Amino acid sequence: MNNPRMQHIGRFLQRREWDAWDPTLVSECVFATANIFSSLKLVHIFTINPYLGPLKISLGRMVIDILKFFLVYALVLFAFACGLNQLLWYYGSMRRQECGQYMNLLANPTSIINAAKVESLKDSCDPKYRSVSSIYYTSETLFWAMFGLIDLSHFSLKEAHYLTEWTGKTIFGSYSCCSIIVLLNMLIAMMSNSYQYISNQCDIEWKFARSRLFVDYFDDTATLPPPFNIIPSPKSFYYGLRWICERYCDCSKGKQVGKQRSMRNQKILRVVNDLESNYRFVTRNLVKRYIAQMQRVKQRNEGVTEDDVNEIKQDISAFRYELLGILRSAGFNTGHTDINQKTHSRNKKRSAIAERRLKKGLPEFNIPVPESFQNRKDSLASLLSENKQKVTTPVRLPHMNWRHFKKRVGFKQPSPGSSPAAVRVKTKVFHLIFMKPQTPLISTISVMESAGIPQAVIDRLCRSRDRSVIRCPKQSPTTCYEKYFWFKTT
């Protein structure tokens, strides 16, 4: 009781006369809440059951979704509560004052007031007018409105302020649309998604949760249940003394080292280590087998995927580079073919671009013109100047075959490696490669031709190759050249 003069008679008061914040009433509220949580603690044991375990896991996953939903819902609730309270707080405070006047009339019945006014004051004591008097009451009203327990009469006004009343009801309708139609259905969708996720792999989730429950009981926890675990037990004294000895005394450490040095303890430790290593080996193999089985089932269900095709491409590319490395280590030159292919494709692209520009008639693109074509053009110009005739129609150039034109006109700039010194260096390098017995004849000849080696040099190298490999006599170089020609043609 708040009055110190009446505290000594508090134990003689009846319960209905106690203060609202009496410690006994507060403790009963807390104890009632604790009863709910202690009863729900039994759900933790449902994990062992194969039928109730997945359901319990789904409920646990739904709790997370509910918490996420309430974060968004609390923001929406607070926003609409602020709007309604700002709009209708004045009318709620007026109803509260009128209700106070009515209570004073009941306390002093001698006052003479009109009966209609008394009835109006009595109507002001209706709890529905208190629903928007403060932020707390407005939030409470909107929360229970989500369950359909609040109607539009809570937002009606005694005064003839129709615009204010219509605005308040419109805000309440907007809140109902946001909370019931949007947010509530979003919560249902989130919960159904969580339940579907657990049900798709319920066996794995249930076994994992059951194993975690088993491991929890392996831990060294308190002997007594709460709240008796606050009282120290003999085991706690034992653990405390052992910790002090291990922390501040060296005797226990010396004994432990002495025991480990003994042969018997070493044998035991060896056996334990073997068992642990065997356990880890078996566990690792089980995990690998499970993963391989899952991948096999997935591949069987999905068939050939893009990853499989990419893997095959990578294998082929790796095999190609490995084969090129083997050939390169054996003395073969494997880099010129790719370079020639790139050069050929580059020249082909340049020729195609030049052809398109020539067909479009771009004047700013300078194309090399053949000598015969230039002479034909000069003769036409001289003929026109001699006759002094004005040509009214555009002059049509004679049609030429582009392939023939491309053969006669080269668009490639002369490479810097075509000098005589560069040719001599290339010849010396090819001579070293060509003299090896394992070097293929036809491939090397084609590479030398593409590298720009003169034909006379190639013939001389072939004669040297034939004399060194086939042992041809020096008096008959023609035979060697015939062999080279036969190899080249075949």
What pLDDT does 250 receive?
58
Q: Give me the residue label for tokens 């190298």.
A: 461
What pLDDT does 253 receive?
53
The number of distinct structural domains making up the chain is: 3
The answer on 54 and 167 residing in a single domain is: yes
Whether residue 308 lies inside any domain: the answer is no
The answer on 53 and 139 residing in a single domain is: yes
User: Distance between CA 158 and CA 122 in Å, rounded?
Assistant: 13
The residue from 204, 237, 258 where one domain ends is: 204
The answer on 170 and 90 residing in a single domain is: yes
What pLDDT does 303 receive?
67
What value does the mean pLDDT take over residues 337-351?
Answer: 52
Whether residue 382 lies inside any domain: the answer is no
The token pair at 116 is: 């209609």
pLDDT above 70 for 83:
yes
221-250 pLDDT, tens digit each: 777 777 787 888 888 888 888 888 877 775
What pLDDT does 370 receive?
45
The answer on 195 and 116 residing in a single domain is: yes
Whether residue 394 lies inside any domain: the answer is no
The residue from 259, 278, 294 where one domain ends is: 294
The answer on 279 and 173 residing in a single domain is: no
The answer on 26 and 100 residing in a single domain is: yes
pLDDT above 60 for 374:
no
User: Using 50, 70 and 90 to split pLDDT, how confident is the model at 30?
Assistant: very high
Looking at 52-56, 165-169, 315-319, 473-477, which range is the least confident one? 473-477
Q: How many helices (H) and strands (E) does the chain have?
A: 18, 0
Most confident residue range from 40-44, 266-270, 374-378: 40-44
What value does the mean pLDDT take over residues 272-280?
Answer: 88
Q: Is 160 helix (H, G, I), strand (E, B) or coil?
A: coil
The answer on 258 and 195 residing in a single domain is: no
Whether residue 219 lies inside any domain: the answer is no
pLDDT above 80 for 365:
no
Q: Give me the residue label for tokens 């923001």.
A: 75
The answer on 195 and 48 residing in a single domain is: yes
Range of the domain at 272: 250-294
pLDDT above 90 for 73:
yes
72 or 347, higher pLDDT: 72
- Burial class from Cβ neighbours inside 10 Å (0-12, 13-18, 19+) for residue 282 reads exposed
What pLDDT does 402 receive?
41
428 or 270, higher pLDDT: 270
What value does the mean pLDDT take over residues 299-306?
Answer: 71
What pLDDT does 474 receive?
44
Most confident residue range from 75-79, 207-211, 235-239, 249-253: 75-79
Kindly state the percentage of the chain with pLDDT values over 90. 13
The rounded Cα 53 to chain-centroid distance in angstroms is 30
Beta-carbon contacts of residue 391 (< 8 Å; ≥ 6 apart):
384
The answer on 168 and 271 residing in a single domain is: no
Whether residue 299 lies inside any domain: the answer is no
67 or 219, higher pLDDT: 67
For residue 329, how many other CB atoms are within 10 A of its CB?
A: 8
Name the region of 18 (left: φ>0; alpha: ψ -120 to 50; beta: rest).
beta
The answer on 119 and 29 residing in a single domain is: yes
For all residues of the chain together, what is the average pLDDT?
Answer: 72
The residue from 140, 171, 204 where one domain ends is: 204
**Do the Cβ atoms of 210 and 53 come closer than 8 Å?**
yes
The answer on 195 and 255 residing in a single domain is: no
293 or 443, higher pLDDT: 293
What pLDDT does 409 receive?
40
Whether residue 220 lies inside any domain: the answer is no
What pLDDT does 175 receive?
93
User: Using 50, 70 and 90 to split pLDDT, how confident is the model at 269?
Assistant: confident
User: Using 50, 70 and 90 to split pLDDT, how confident is the model at 350?
Assistant: low
pLDDT above 60 for 455:
yes
The answer on 172 and 92 residing in a single domain is: yes
Whether residue 435 lies inside any domain: the answer is yes
Q: pTM score, two decimals?
A: 0.44
What value does the mean pLDDT take over residues 110-126?
Answer: 72
